[in-house]
């Protein structure tokens, strides 16, 4: 597979293509890239039972490994009968995150190098508006979910409005997709762990909004954890708390995020589940 095909499949923006090409051709850190490739390859298809090891935390080494690994991941998907469109949608997150990195830092990079390990270990799939990661859960919901059960974790990429009809379609697709492709890992529950499920937000966006409707699909459970700058990052793409006073407060989402930080409180990464 030549480089242009890889960049197309990863939906790399025009602005990032020359840098990706230079990274692909660069040989100085070959040994480290090979270690990352080996670490992801070991994890591929283990659904995180073999976690992706981190021989380095250098983002561009990870991106170089992700460029190298495209044919192997495409082949894994093909062997498991996964439709080309799903492979394409799943891998398009690479270009999305490289573009977000440029938007945030002004430079070529991949701030979220660890996140894409889910895609490359072949346990996360984009099915319409949402992405789903198949894994053994460590969480417990009485009568619904016990630690060690297979479950789907839902993720929300930055890809436009979270229309309820699109969320319905994604959940319907997930039900069929995982039953067909991974019948030996049966799932009946979708969990979500997000700042969007912090109860502080539910009271501050309209119940009829897309975000409000999404929140109400999930039943809260378990302990939340501090995610101080997460909401700031997802809504404003900055983690710089010094910028809080000057950030725009035009929408209910922006006001909610900033109000909580004005109060000196921490956003919570809260858990919710729904029955698939």
Ligand X SMILES: CC(C)(COP(=O)(O)OP(=O)(O)OC[C@H]1O[C@@H](n2cnc3c(N)ncnc32)[C@H](O)[C@@H]1OP(=O)(O)O)[C@@H](O)C(=O)NCCC(=O)NCCS
Q: How far is the CB of 254 from ligand X (least distance, A)?
A: 5
In the complex with ligand X, which residue's Cβ is closer, 76 or 218? 218
Q: How far is the CB of 35 from ligand X (least distance, A)?
A: 29
Q: How far is the CB of 123 from ligand X (least distance, A)?
A: 18
- Tell me phi and psi for residue 235, to 5 degrees: -95, -35
Buried b (16+ CB within 10 A) or exposed e, 229-248: bbbbbbbbeeeeeeeeeebe
Q: How far is the CB of 253 from ligand X (least distance, A)?
A: 3
Residue 179 tokens, joined: 């039953």
List Cα–Cα distances, 270 to 48, 96, 194, 199, 223, in angstroms.
22, 25, 5, 8, 7
CB 198, CB 268: distance < 8 Å: yes
In the complex with ligand X, which residue's Cβ is closer, 39 or 193? 193
Q: How far is the CB of 143 from ligand X (least distance, A)?
A: 26
Q: Is 25 helix (H, G, I), strand (E, B) or coil?
A: helix
CB 259, CB 204: distance < 8 Å: yes
Q: Strands 268-275 and 130-136: what pairing?
A: unpaired
Question: Which residues are 124's β-sheet partners?
Answer: 133
In the complex with ligand X, which residue's Cβ is closer, 61 or 272? 272
H-assigned helices in the chain: 3-9, 14-25, 30-43, 59-68, 70-79, 84-105, 117-120, 164-181, 199-202, 210-217, 230-236, 252-262
In the complex with ligand X, which residue's Cβ is closer, 53 or 161? 161
In the complex with ligand X, which residue's Cβ is closer, 69 or 133? 133
In the complex with ligand X, which residue's Cβ is closer, 3 or 156? 156
Residues in contact with ligand X by CB under 6 A are: 156, 158, 161-162, 194-196, 205-206, 209-211, 234-235, 251-254
In the complex with ligand X, which residue's Cβ is closer, 5 or 158? 158
Q: How far is the CB of 122 from ligand X (least distance, A)?
A: 21
Q: How far is the CB of 258 from ligand X (least distance, A)?
A: 11
């Amino acid at each position: 597979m030549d480089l242009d095909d890889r960049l197309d499949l990863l939906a790399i923006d025009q602005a990032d293509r020359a840098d990706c090409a230079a990274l692909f051709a660069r040989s100085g850190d070959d040994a480290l890239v090979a270690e990352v490739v080996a670490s992801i390859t070991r994890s591929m298809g283990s659904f995180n039972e073999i976690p992706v090891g981190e021989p380095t935390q250098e983002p561009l080494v990870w991106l170089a490994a992700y460029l190298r690994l495209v044919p192997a991941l495409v082949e894994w998907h093909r062997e498991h009968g996964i439709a080309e469109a799903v492979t394409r949608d799943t891998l398009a997150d690479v270009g999305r995150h490289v573009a977000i990195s440029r938007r945030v830092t002004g430079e070529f990079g991949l701030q979220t190098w660890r996140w894409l390990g889910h895609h490359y270990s072949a346990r996360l799939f984009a099915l319409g508006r949402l992405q789903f990661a198949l894994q053994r859960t460590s969480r417990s919901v009485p009568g619904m979910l016990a630690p060690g059960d297979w479950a789907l974790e839902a993720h929300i990429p930055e890809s436009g409005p979270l229309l309820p009809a699109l969320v319905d379609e994604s959940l319907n697709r997930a039900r069929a997709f995982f039953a067909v492709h991974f019948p030996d890992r049966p799932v009946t529950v979708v969990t979500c762990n997000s700042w969007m499920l912090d109860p502080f937000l539910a009271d501050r966006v309209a119940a009829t909004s897309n975000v409000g409707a999404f929140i109400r699909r999930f039943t809260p459970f378990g302990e939340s954890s501090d995610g101080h700058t997460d909401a700031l990052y997802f809504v404003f793409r900055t983690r710089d708390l010094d910028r809080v006073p000057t950030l725009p407060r035009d929408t209910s989402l922006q006001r909610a995020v900033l109000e909580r930080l004005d109060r000196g409180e921490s956003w919570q990464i809260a858990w919710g589940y729904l029955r698939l």
